[in-house]
Structures are given as C-alpha cells and as structure tokens.
Structure 1
Amino acid sequence: MKLVSDHIVEGRPGPTNPLAYPVPAGIDLTDIHAFTRGQPWDDFARMRAEAPVMWHDGPRGGIGFWAVTGYDDVKRVNGDPETFSSETGGILMSLGPVETRHPILFSASTNSMINLDARPHRQLRKEHMPYFTATYMKGLRARVSGEVTRLLDTMAPLGTCDFVEKLAQRLPIFTLCEMLGVPESDRERFIGWIHFLEMAQQVALEQIDQLAGLSEPSPQIAAFIEMFNKNVAEMFDYGRAMLAKRRADPQSDLMSAIANAEVEGERLPGEYLDGAWLLIVFAGNDTTRNSLSGAMKLFTEFPDQKARLQADPALLTNAVHEITRMVSPVIYMRRTATKEVELNGQRIADGEKVIMYYGAANRDARVFPDPDRFDIGRANAEKNIAFGYGPHICIGRMTAQLQLEEAYRQIFARFPDIRWTGEIDIAPNNFVHAVRRLEVAFTPEKVAQAA
C-alpha cells in the first residue's frame, strides 16, 4: 500500500487565474492566536457576502489557498473527491518546512484514512464500520449514560467547576476507550496526549519562527517542546503496543478492527497503523469534547432555548443537531484540485489548494435563516455539515450525537440552573475549536435537595 507521505503534492503558489472576487481587507485565517477568541464569524459573513471563493495567502509565506465559505460550495468540494482530492496534498492547511516537521506526526497525519481517496478509502472505512452502526451505538448508550452519571456525581457537591476538566474531556475518552478496549488503568493518559496534540500547531510555528530568525530560543519554549515530543512518543509507543497485541490476539473491539484491517488484500503497514491511532485518539475525542463545552456556552447565551429544552425534553435530538451546527468544532478541511475547475465563478487551477470552512457554511443564511440564532427547534438543523459531507463524512458522528444527548439529558435534570460563568480558555488552533477550560456555576445538588 503506497504511502501518502511519499507522493504528497505541496501545491502551487497561486493564484493562477484572475480573481473573480476582490479580497476583503483585514482577514487572516492563518493566525492561530486569533482563534483563541473563537471562530471569526464576522469575517466568515463578509467572505460569504463579498468573496465566497476567496484567495488567501499562505501562512509564513507558504502556499496560498482558496477559502470556501458558502454552504453549497463546501458541499460541492466535499462531495467530489475526484476533482478535490484529500490524498494529493493532505487535509491540513500547511505541512510546514521539511526541517521542522515532526517525523512521526507528519507521517501519521498524512498516512491515514482521512487522507485517502476512492477505493482505498472505502475499503478502510468499511473495516471500521461495525463499530459505528446504529446497532453498536444502541449497546454503547447504556455505558455512556452510566459514565455521565458518575461524572456528574463528582460535580454535584461543588457549585462551581471547570466543565472541561470534570466532564467534557472525560466522557469522550471513556467512550473511545470502551470502543477500543483500552484498560481502565490507562485511560487517564489520554487527557495529556490530547492536550499536547492540540498544541502541535503552536510548537511547529515556534520552530518555524526560530528557523527564520523571527524569535529567539528560550528555556521555556525548549522545555515545552521537549515535553511535547516526550508525550507524542509515548502516545505512539502505547498505540503500537496495543495494536500489536490485537494482531496477535484479536478481540471484539475497534482496536482489533484497526490492527487487522486489510486494503487490497494486505494488512496496513506500520505508517498507516500510526495514522489510524492518531486519527482515532484525536478525532474521537476532540470534536465531542468541544461540542459538549460549546453547548454549555450556547445554552447560557440563549437562556430561552435552555428553558425550552427543559420544558420539552423531546427536543433533545434536534437540539444536538443545532448545537453541532452552531459550534462546528472542526474548523476546516483542505483539498487539492486535480484539474482546472470553476467554483462559484472562480477558476481554480490544477494543484491549487481549496479549504472548506464548515462553521462558515453552517451559518449561511440562504440555508439557515437567522443563522447566528441558536434555535433548538430549527426545522433543518440536521442539514448542518459540521461532520462533513459525501464520502468523507465523519464516521463517528453518531457517537458524538449519542454522548451529547446522554450528557445534556442528565445535566439539566440534575443541575437545572447550571450556567457558564464567562470564564473560558481556547487553544491557539485554527484547525479545531479547542476549548481547554470553561467554568460553570450551579446550585450544588445536596443544597438543592435540602432546600
């Protein structure tokens, strides 16, 4: 099985063709620190209105890209892998200079199912599917519900706490580890690994700036990079050991399905096993964690919708679709044009990069009227494309839906006055909306019962 990392196309500087739309001033989607304030909804609105297919210069003088923000355009790019390839150039905005690439992370982030097209992608996806069906989710729901109860028990007497630390980061890890077959004694380690994976962009940019002479090395940065490399190595060592065990002794779990998957009659080489491990650990946790936190923020900002759900719990499933639309935890995915193509009046050349902004598409007023309003009864909330569209639609979307439903079914029943205090910390990351801390306050359960 050929490695994506061996034939990845860096792209062409561009733009090759004349601009169909003028570039709005003051928009920089490559500044990761700007995303610590949340996604740039105002910029996305300007882009949809003035330049729905907008040329954007690359980060640090790198390869530029076409930024796509309209709902129909994002669906078209996502749904046509023959014209807009994942495999040709990878899904990430920038691969960075060769000398700053983390050898394991670069290989694992490119040699994985999410970066494959056509038959290899379909075959590998099929191997995972038994653990992402409605039947499997039905069996998983009771275990997830029990874990929600246990986590809320730890919150109950506190009154104030970090919602991420107490619940949002722990529930997805529990769920993923249950699916993978990870022993309970090892599960706490995932929390640290995910934290460092979310900081990978910042580490790479620190190294690029030092290489370019834009910043001076410091003991603090050096220590952080050393800790980052140590944790990443530990994460992959653990995954390799577990996958080797499952090849030797398969079990009824997702880890065994990954370890023994075959594409075109051959088992996956080590590079793809690393890629599968990285994808499942990061994607299996990050999106759900940030949707759980984002939901708490939304229900606080729109108290009428919280009251509406508490009055009518039957709205919960649709509320989760609306949460997903509003939060859009995966900010973008990148594709590479395989031929000259026109998208919404803009000619795009073969080899140029196209980036789809899911949150922007999910707030397209032509599809979702009054798009910035959180409406748990929205008739077409399920049409959101936060989990992608077409062949690459997220395989774990039902798992995320299940966890959000079970969490908020119990949260509002036990803590009816729970609210976000306004304290929040978002990681510097323009690929995922990564909430690291979100403080909540509520009447402690024992106090409420006594009253």
Structure 2
Amino acid sequence: MHLVSDHIVEGREGPTFDPAYPTLPGVDLTDIRRFTRGQPWEDFARMREQAPVMWHPMPRDGVGFWAVTSFEGVKRVNGDPTTFSSEKGGILMALGPQETRHPILFSASTNSMINLDARPHRELRREHMPYFTASYIRGLRERVSAEVTRLLDTMAPLGKCDLVEKFSQRLPIFTLCEMLGVPLEDREKFIGWIHFLEMAQQIATEQAEQIASGGELNPQIAAFIELFNKNIGDMFEYGRHMLAKRRADPQPDLMSAIANAMVEGEPLPDPYLDGAWLLIVFAGNDTTRNSISGAMKLFTENPGEKAKLQADGGLLTNAVHEITRLVSPVIYMRRTATCDTEVEGQRIAEGEKVIMYYGAANRDPAMFTDPDRFDITRTNAEKNIAFGHGPHICIGRMTAQLQLEEAYRQMFARFPDIRWTGEMDIAPNNFVHAVKRLEVEFGPERAAQAA
C-alpha cells in the first residue's frame, strides 16, 4: 500500500470557477476558538439559505475550500467517492505548517482506513466488520449494561458531578477496550490519551501563531507541548506493542483483526497500523462520549421530551437518533474533487477541497421540519447523517447507539431528576464537538435509594 501522506494535494488559493453564491461576511469555520461556544448554528443556517456551497478562504495557509451545508449537498458528496476522494487530499481541512506537525500523529492521521478509497478501503473495512455486526453488538450489550450500572453506582452518593469525568468519557473507553481486548490495568491510560488528542488542534494553532509572530514559545505552551508529545508517544508505543503481540499470538478480539489485516494481499505496513490504532482510539471514544454529554444538555433544555421518554421507554431508540442528529459530534469531513463537477449549482474544479458540515446538514429544514427543535418522536430522525453516508458511513454507529440507549435507560430510571446545571467546557476544536466538562446535579436521596 502506498502512503496517503506522500500523495496529498492541498488544492489552490482561490476557486477556479466563479462562485455561484457569496462568501458570507463574519463566517470563519477555521477559527477553533469560536467552537468553544458550540457549533456555529446561526452561521450554518445563513450558509444553507444563502450559500449552500460557499467558497471559504483559509486565513493562514492560503488554500481555501468549498463548504457544503445542505443535506442533499452533503449526502451527494459523501455518497460519491469516485468524484470526491478521501485519499487524494485526506479528510482534514488543512495539514498545517510542517514545523508544527507531530511526526507520528501526522503520519497516522493521514494513513488510515478513512483516508482510503475504493478497494483498499473496502478490504480494510471488511477486516474490521466482524466486531461491528448486529450479532456481535448483541453479545456486547450485557457487558455494556453492567458497566453502566457500575458507573452510576459511583455517581449515586454524590448528588452532583462532572458527567464527562464520571460517566461520558468512561463508558466508551470501557466498550472499546472490551472490543480490543485491552487488559483492565491499562484502560485508565486511554482517558489521558483522548484528552491530548482533542487538544492537538489547539497545540498546532498556538505553535503556528508563535512561529508566525517570530517570537519564542510561551514557557507554558512549551511545557504543555512537551507533555503532549510524551503522551502521544506513549499512546503509539503502547499500540505498536499490543499490535505486535496480536500478530505473534492472535486472540478473538478487534486488536487481532487490526494487527492481522490483509489489504491487496499484504499485511498492513507500520504507518497504517499506527493509523488504525489512532482511528480506533479516537473515533471509538470521542463521538459516543460527546453524544452522551450532548444528550444531557438536550434533555435538560427540553424537559417535555425527557418526560415523554420516562413515560414510554419504547421511544429510546428513536430518541438516540434524534440526539445524534442534533449533537452531530463529528463537525466535518473533507473530500477532494477528482474531476470538474457541480454541487447545488456550484461548479467545482478538480483538485479543490470540499468540506461537508454534518451538523448543518442535520438541521436543514428541507429535510427535517422545524430542525432546531428536539423531538424524540420525529418520524425521520433515523435519516440523519451524523455518522456519514455511503461507503464511508461510520463502522461503529451501532456500538454508539447501544451505549447511548443503555446509558439513558438506566440513568433516567435511577436519577429521574438528573439535569445539567448550565456549566460546561468545550475544547477548541473545529473537527469534533468535544465536551471537556458538563456539570450535572440530581437528588441524592433518590440516588441513594436506587443504588
């Protein structure tokens, strides 16, 4: 297999064809600090209405992109990998200055399954599939349910806590480690690794700003970068060690499937093993964690929907579809045009970057009536594309659904008055909606009785 990172094309500064829609003033989807207030829903609404395929300049590296925000536009791009390649340019908005790239993290983030097209993507995905089938998920449910109970037991005496710390970050790590076959004594390490992965954009941005200003790195930033590099190095060292063990001694787990995957008749080269490890650690944790936290915010802001669910548990599966629609934890994915084409009346040239905004698409009134309203009885909630569409649809979406269902089935039964206090922190990240802290409170006497 060739390395995707050796063939990435970064596009061009301005569009080849005249824009059919205006570039709206005040919209900056590259400013990661803006995303600490949540996703820019008002900007997305303006874009859908006035510029569903909008040329967006890049203030730093000069390589702009087409931002697609309509449901049909995102679905079209996501569902046509021949015209819109994941491999030609990678799935990230920009790669940043070479001097700020973490060598292993950069290679791993570009050389992975979601950065491949056609046969290599299909073959590598097929190697993972036995651990993401409906039958496997059914076998996993009992273990996930028991872990939900255990985590809620630790919350019960507290009366208030940070839901991320006590629950949201821990359940996905447990589930992933069960699937991978990670020893119990090693699982706590994943919490720190996920934290640093979510901060990677901030680290790169601050480094780039310091370099651009010609000044020396702030001592606090330098110390954090050192800590960041150590943790990311430890994460990859652990992954390489475990994958090597599974190549030598395969076990019935996902780790062994990754380690022994064959693509085009050959075992995965080391950069793709690193990429597979990064993808499963990050994607296997982050989307579920942030959906669990986002659900608590939605139910607190919409007590009528919470009451509906508590009165009728049969609504839970559809409620989870509606949660993922509104939270849309993955903010964007990039594709690169392989030929001149057209989307929503906008001509796009070969080699230009096309970025799909899933949250914007999931609030398109052309698809979802009254789209900003949280409605757990919404009849087409399952049609959301928070997990993508087409050949690259998220392989772990049923695992995420399982965890959200088990979490809220038990949580509302045991803590019927649990609610978000209004306090939360969101990481500066425009790729995933990363909730770092979300404070909740609940009646301790009810919790104690239920426990």
Q: TM-score, normalised by structure 1?
A: 0.99
Over 3 Å counting, the alpha-carbon distance change for 1:319 and 1:243 in structure 2 is same
Tell me how far apart the structure 2 counterparts of residues 70 and 364 of structure 1 sit (CA, whole Å): 6
| Mapped contact 2:47–2:69 kept (Cα < 8 A) | yes
Deviations 1:68-93 (A, max 9, x none): 00000000000011110000000001
- Is 1:230 paired with 2:230? yes
Shift of 1:61: 3.6
Between stretches 18-27 and 326-335, larger displacement belongs to 18-27
**1:343-390 CA-partner distances (Å, limit 9, x unpaired):** 111111110000000000000001100000000000000000000000
Give the counterpart letter for 2:273 in structure 1: L
Q: Flag the 1:186–1:448 CA change in 2: closer, same or farther, 3 A.
A: closer
> How far apart are 1:342 and its partner, in Å?
0.9
Q: C-alpha distance in 1, partners of 2:447/2:7?
A: 62
Matched, 1:432 2:426: no
Structure 1 equivalent of residue 147 of structure 2: 147
1:15 paired with 2:15, answer yes
Report the counterpart of residue 195 of structure 1 in structure 2: 195
Q: In structure 2, how many angstroms separate the alpha carbons of the residues matched to 1:449 and 1:129?
A: 42
Aligned to 1:179: 179
Alignment-derived partner of residue 357 in structure 1: 357
1:218 is displaced (CA, Å) by 1.3
Contact 2:210 2:216 in 1 (8 A): yes
Trace 1:285-434 onto structure 2 (pairs within 5 A). 285-434=285-434
The corresponding residue for 1:258 is 258
Counterpart of 1:56, as a letter, is H
**1:137 counterpart = 2:140:** no
Q: Which residue of 2 aligns with 1:43?
A: 43
1:25 is displaced (CA, Å) by 1.0
Separation (CA, whole Å) in 2 of partners of 1:240 and 1:395: 22
Q: Is the 8 A contact 1:110 1:275 kept in 2?
A: yes
Shift of 1:298: 0.1
Query: Normalised by the size of structure 2, how large is the TM-score?
Result: 0.99
Contact 2:326/2:374 (8 A) holds in 1:
yes
**2:250 alignment partner, SS class:** coil
Instruction: Decide whether the 8 Å contact of 1:326 with 1:359 is kept in 2.
Output: yes
Find the aligned partners of 1:437 and 1:312 in 2 and give their Cα distance.
29
Aligned residues with identical type, % of pairs: 80
Contact 1:239 1:277 (8 Å CA) reproduced: yes
The 3-state SS of whatever aligns with 1:55 is strand
8 A Cα contact 2:11 2:353, kept in partner: yes
How far has the Cα of 1:99 moved from its partner? Answer: 2.0
The separation in 2 between residues aligned to 1:415 and 1:100, in whole angstroms, is 46
Structure 2 distance, partners of 1:133, 1:340, is 37
Residue 107 (str. 1) matches residue 101 (str. 2): no
In 2: Cα distance, 1:157 partner to 1:167 partner: 14
Amino acid at match of 2:33: H
CA distance in 2, matches of 1:231, 1:11: 32
Structure 1 stretches of 4+ moved >4 Å: 445-448
Deviation at 1:206, TM superposition (A): 1.2
1:60 alignment partner, SS class: coil
Letter matched to residue 261 of structure 2: A
Tell me the C-alpha RMSD between the 2 structures.
1.0
Secondary structure class of the residue paired with 1:394: coil
CA distance in 1 between partners of 2:437 and 2:354 (Å): 32
Report if aligned partners of 1:157, 1:446 keep a CA contact under 8 Å in 2.
no
Count the aligned residue pairs.
Answer: 450
Question: Residue type of the partner of 1:273?
Answer: L
Paired residue type of 2:432: V
Deviation per CA, 1:22-65: give whole Å up to 9, x if none. Answer: 12110000000000000000000000000000000114143110
**Pair 1:24-2:6 in alignment:** no
Q: Deviations over 1:140-163 (max 9, x none)?
A: 000000000000000001000000
CA distance in 1, matches of 2:116, 2:390: 14
Offset at 1:447?
Answer: 6.5
- State whether structure 2 residue 86 is matched by structure 1 residue 83: no
Matched, 1:6 2:32: no
How many Å apart are 1:242 and its aligned residue? 0.1
Q: Is the CA contact 1:14–1:352 (under 8 Å) kept in the aligned structure 2?
A: no
**Preserved contact between residue 83 and residue 338 of structure 1 (Cα < 8 Å):** yes
CA contact (8 A) 2:84 2:337 kept: yes
Residue 449 of structure 1 and its aligned partner are, at CA, apart by: 3.0
The alignment partner of 2:60 has SS state of helix
| SS of aligned partner of 2:150 | helix
Instruction: Structure 2: give runs of 5+ residues left out of the alignment.
Output: none
Contact 2:53–2:346 (8 Å) recurs in 1: yes
